[in-house]
Structure 1
């Protein structure tokens, strides 16, 4: 390798000749050449790794601000915030998230959240998923962060006018009613993620969205039942007065969801859900749809598990017939469970509920009537029991020529008549 090189000699005129690389390295003039051609840095020194340790210039560039937050460089962030706070509180990243979102997502110290709020950040701002900062706090059940986002500033904490403090607080509470892209408020998201600490705090704020519907028409109780969370179901019904039949009337009810879940469990695991069923039925829960798991095979696929597509389908029930029958059978199943535990009075009430959802000319009605009559006999109410038994046996004789149940009813009738005659 060679290069044309200019060489000056005091004893001769300027001449051109080929100088090898090795010759250049050995030449005493090469160092001067390198120094003379050194390129000056094209960036300020303080932006280098070492220079940034000495000084970081304030900036309102979004990429720089979010980089500071990603890496926890709060010294640089604070220096920028002090000067450019009006710009910084409005910038967003590629996910549509504000600085407040990022602080909450990374669970940084609450003081930064409060500082941004004092600077006038929008606590109602939503990212591309429709989440506010409060949604993210609730999602991981970070109740202390949720408090940082909602607690009113103390009038003596900072020299902020009372009117400004009130405005900030009102905006913070308003953020709790904002729905994300799925139609969930902070309260609804707390139920969806079983964030009980945040749910309790929202209850202290007198926030109750238990009967609000998401974009699909489901409510908090639907989520709780789907999660098989007995304590949450009880809290929603007893504390928040959730309507067990709320939600879009063309979609599955909470009782429909319970029954689907029950069918998916092994018989030995179904006892866990008995209390949930009892809570629903004692509050007059009704069926609307049947949820079925539908499987199909991908076109052109070989016979393997990976080729199976599963989804859920909702089959609407005739609310005047099939829907009421399903509801009646749910009450009857609950009654049988209570009866087995010796809780006869509650069992009787469940059987009565089953009777109200069943036509009074069917075998099912006769069966429920028999169980109700038995409890009446135990309580010494023979006359009421006799009326039920006589109607039950009449129904069965119309629908059955002979059965063990008819014999059982007749014996009970004969026994009561013998005792009262």
Structure 2
């Protein structure tokens, strides 16, 4: 049995450029740093991107009314730049001086999303503890939780949920965090999300169930977890296929 992929294809762009993911409308993956063209940036953005806390301190002393939230041409703030490059000290400096935590860049991504997208866990933890918005969606419909799941970061997933992240948000590829975890074959995260009452009967836009996706992506462990949740094995997708009718599913039932 084969289902249409819920996500499309794409080509990689050079390292260091913000680029479309191989998973269109899903998330950006590796090398998600912003393109650095220092000639287009203000001094505050340059200092933040380089991790120069001392320069930022001098700026705030020299200009007491300095705008910490000023945006560059692509709507990125100093906090965005600090998070992308993993400068936790700069993030702390900006947060302590009451910068805005949830400014959106040109892709509607918050600094927290960029920290998670670029796998800067220290920066993400500072923002979550400081009250950053967890359920804002970017232009692809992804929340911070989607990014944490995509990068298979269980500790951040747990932290986000403990601080109020919504577990059932679907992105524009119609994937909830649970469905995304299944496509990534992230067994630990799937198990954790299920313990947090994620909907085991969630479906994507092709009406593929969580169980169908688990079969399609070849994870007997996840199939077993879902069967223990009494999911509907006879549910049909838009092509009329079911997980139960798959010969692959028959192999998994023997394992379980």
Equivalent of 2:212, from 256, 260, 277? 256
Q: Does 2:173 align with 1:227?
A: no
TM-score (normalised: structure 1): 0.46
State whether residues 49 and 82 of structure 2, in contact with CA within 8 Å, keep that contact through their aligned partners in structure 1.
no
Residue 139 of structure 1 is matched in structure 2 by 117
Mapped to 2, the partners of 1:96 and 1:330 lie a distance apart of 48
Mapped to 2, the partners of 1:233 and 1:208 lie a distance apart of 16
Residue 105 of structure 1 is matched in structure 2 by 84
Q: Deviations over 1:263-288 (max 9, x none)?
A: xxxxxxxxxx2211111222214444
Distance change in 2, residues 1:138/1:226 (3 Å): same
Distance change in 2, residues 1:228/1:71 (3 Å): closer
Equivalent of 2:222, from 276, 301, 315? 276
Mapped to 2, the partners of 1:250 and 1:85 lie a distance apart of 55
> Aligned-pair distance for 1:120?
2.8
Residue 317 of structure 1 is matched in structure 2 by 239
State whether residues 142 and 198 of structure 1, in contact with CA within 8 Å, keep that contact through their aligned partners in structure 2.
no
Q: Does 2:139 align with 1:181?
A: yes
Residue 28 of structure 2 is matched in structure 1 by none
Mapped to 1, the partners of 2:158 and 2:64 lie a distance apart of 34
What is the aligned length? 215
Q: Deviations over 1:377-403 (max 9, x none)?
A: xxxxxxxxxxxxxxxxxxxxxxxxxxx
Structure 2: unaligned runs, 5 residues or longer: 1-39
> Aligned-pair distance for 1:180?
1.5
State whether residues 101 and 111 of structure 2, in contact with CA within 8 Å, keep that contact through their aligned partners in structure 1.
yes
Structure 1: unaligned runs, 5 residues or longer: 1-60, 152-168, 263-272, 290-315, 339-421
Mapped to 1, the partners of 2:50 and 2:116 lie a distance apart of 24
State whether residues 249 and 288 of structure 1, in contact with CA within 8 Å, keep that contact through their aligned partners in structure 2.
no
Residue 56 of structure 2 is matched in structure 1 by 77
Structure with greater helix share of residues: 1
Mapped to 2, the partners of 1:76 and 1:231 lie a distance apart of 42
Mapped to 2, the partners of 1:324 and 1:106 lie a distance apart of 43
SS class of match (1:120): coil
Distance change in 2, residues 1:240/1:185 (3 Å): same
Distance change in 2, residues 1:275/1:68 (3 Å): closer
Mapped to 1, the partners of 2:64 and 2:159 lie a distance apart of 30
Q: Does 2:170 align with 1:213?
A: yes
Greater mean alpha carbon deviation, residues 75-84 or residues 131-140: 75-84
Residue 124 of structure 1 is matched in structure 2 by 102
Equivalent of 1:194, from 146, 152, 157? 152
SS class of match (2:166): coil
State whether residues 217 and 251 of structure 1, in contact with CA within 8 Å, keep that contact through their aligned partners in structure 2.
no
Mapped to 2, the partners of 1:325 and 1:66 lie a distance apart of 54
Residue 199 of structure 2 is matched in structure 1 by 243
What aligned pairs does 1:22-421 form with structure 2 within 5 A after superposition?
A: 63-84=42-63, 86-110=65-89, 112-151=90-129, 172-173=131-132, 175-205=133-163, 207-237=164-194, 239-248=195-204, 250-262=206-218, 273-283=219-229, 284-286=231-233, 287-289=235-237, 316-318=238-240, 322-323=241-242, 326=245, 332-338=250-256
State whether residues 224 and 233 of structure 1, in contact with CA within 8 Å, keep that contact through their aligned partners in structure 2.
yes
Mapped to 2, the partners of 1:324 and 1:198 lie a distance apart of 31
SS class of match (1:201): helix
State whether residues 104 and 136 of structure 1, in contact with CA within 8 Å, keep that contact through their aligned partners in structure 2.
yes
State whether residues 88 and 99 of structure 1, in contact with CA within 8 Å, keep that contact through their aligned partners in structure 2.
no
